[in-house]
Amino acid sequence: KCGHMGGKVLVPTREAVAKLVAARLAADTMGVPTLLVARTDAEAGDLVTSDIDDNDKPFCTGERTVEGFYRTKNGLDQAISRGLAYAPYADLIWCETGKPDLAFAKAFAEAIHAKFPGKLLAYNCSPSFNWKKNLDDATIAKFQRELGALGYKFQF
């Protein structure tokens, strides 16, 4: 699903990690050079399919939807928590955001790099962002350069 659409439902952190491990095993077994990208939508995703994962429990509110999903506190803290959990199993960490935000990007990068120095990061510089609504022209002009300095080496 496009990261800029609503209605995101997260899977438990351990399920995402298991998929990363399975992808690495398959690539290594087949001898296929692979770059594993772990994406988190926890900045905006406020639902999770299960509350079983200890990594997710601090963010679960205790509420459930009629569909059976668990409500979570989305945002930077959960995005960092998931990024840190994915980092040992992925080559690159991507935190999807709903708008261009250097302060958010910096906080995420610093938290990941504090435990995983030099970990490659990705940032979606989407044309669907309303850039001028969120940033002035000077910030837009330097946005990608500043992302690069923070460790976001894959920008798209």
What is the per-residue pLDDT across 27-64, written as a single tens digit (0 to 9) for each? Answer: 999 999 999 999 999 999 999 999 999 999 999 999 99
Q: Does 4 fall in a domain?
A: no
pLDDT value of position 1 = 47
Number of domains in the chain: 1
pLDDT value of position 33 = 97
Regions of the chain with pLDDT less than 70: 1-6
pTM for the model stands at 0.92
The enclosing H or E element of 95 equals: strand 92-95
Show the CA angle centred on residue 149, arms to residues 147 and 153, nearest 5°.
65
Q: Does 81 fall in a domain?
A: yes
Q: Does 74 fall in a domain?
A: yes
Q: Does 98 fall in a domain?
A: yes
In the numeric block, the tokens 């999807």 are attached to: 96
Q: Does 35 fall in a domain?
A: yes
Q: Does 26 fall in a domain?
A: yes
pLDDT value of position 7 = 72
Tell me the catalytic residues. Answer: 2
pLDDT value of position 111 = 99
Domain that holds residue 51: 9-155
Measured distance CA(29)–CA(68) in Å, rounded: 37
Q: Does 3 fall in a domain?
A: no
Q: Does 1 fall in a domain?
A: no
From residue 142, alpha-carbon distances to 4, 7, 145, 149, 152 in Å are 23, 32, 5, 11, 14
Query: With b meaning 16 or more CB within 10 Å and e meaning fewer, what string describes 93-126?
Result: bbbbbbebbeebbbbbbebbeeebeebbbbbbeb
Helix (H, G, I), strand (E, B) or coil at 91: coil
Spatial neighbors of 111 by CB under 8 A, at least 6 apart, are 80, 83, 84
